[in-house]
Amino acid sequence: MTEPSRGPSPPSGPSGHLRKLSVIVPVFNERNTVVEIVRRMRAVELPLALEIVVVDDGSTDGTDAVLAQLNDSTVNVVSHPENRGKGAAVRTGLDRATGDLLLVQDADLEYDPADWPRLLAPVLAGKARVVYGSRFTGERRNMLLLHWLGNRFLTVVTNVLYNTTLSDMETCYKLVTRDALDGVVLTADRFDFEPEITARLLRRGERIYEVPISYAGREFDEGKKITWRDGVVALWTLVKCRFTR
């Protein structure tokens, strides 16, 4: 993979050229929560236009029928004929998005769209081009110890490999300007999307700004899909992106 060698353009004052936020929602078997997450997204008061791109990643629980009722001028529904993984769904969403700002929103209610203004503030003020919402610096429903350890371990590895001081690399809430993402090639199909996009941005010299967010994590009996195997793949992705082009 070849990435541009030029460094990132530093933030330079209020970003008045940013007109639209595109929110990409990867969905797989979330029939019971997707309507509520769309309602919450529509309820957020924003200083710019909103575009919601929902990518149904081959759901088999009737999610497609629910999404058909949500498709309108604000919500653009795209479907994969079969399940390909979160990363693949996000990449499809990125291809369809037309906004100046890009954000991923999971459909499982773990992350609250009411936190979007916190994410947007540093970008709109011209302080950053990439903002992460940290689950470990805001109010949260505590996760299981093994999940906490896995998240902390992967974040520490990221900090060591890429000379940064993130508190939450695996967060879903990654807000990126289109300019910052321009030229970044993403290939991850599954949950390795999180370390890949982080690694690619850090390799280009982007400085990531973090803000505290709320978090209501699910467990496996509530529908959580990520497993320890995904953690192993994430570790390999961080190492691979650091030492290869």
In this prediction the pTM is 0.87
pLDDT tens-digit map of 67-110: 999 988 889 999 999 999 999 999 999 999 999 999 999 999 99
Q: Could you report the per-residue pLDDT of 28-73, keeping only the tens digit for each?
A: 999 999 999 999 999 999 999 999 999 999 999 999 999 999 988 8
**Residue 147's pLDDT band (cuts 50, 70, 90):** confident
Q: Does 195 or 231 have the greater pLDDT score?
A: 195
Q: Pull the structure tokens for residue 126.
A: 């011209």
Q: What are the structural domain ranges in the chain?
A: 20-243
Angle between helices 228-243 and 193-203 (to 10 degrees): 20
Domain 20-243 architecture: Alpha-Beta Complex (3.90)
Contacts for 178-182 with beta carbons within 8 Å, 24 or more apart? 178/99, 178/100, 178/101, 178/102, 179/9, 179/129, 180/8, 180/129, 180/130, 180/206, 181/94, 181/102
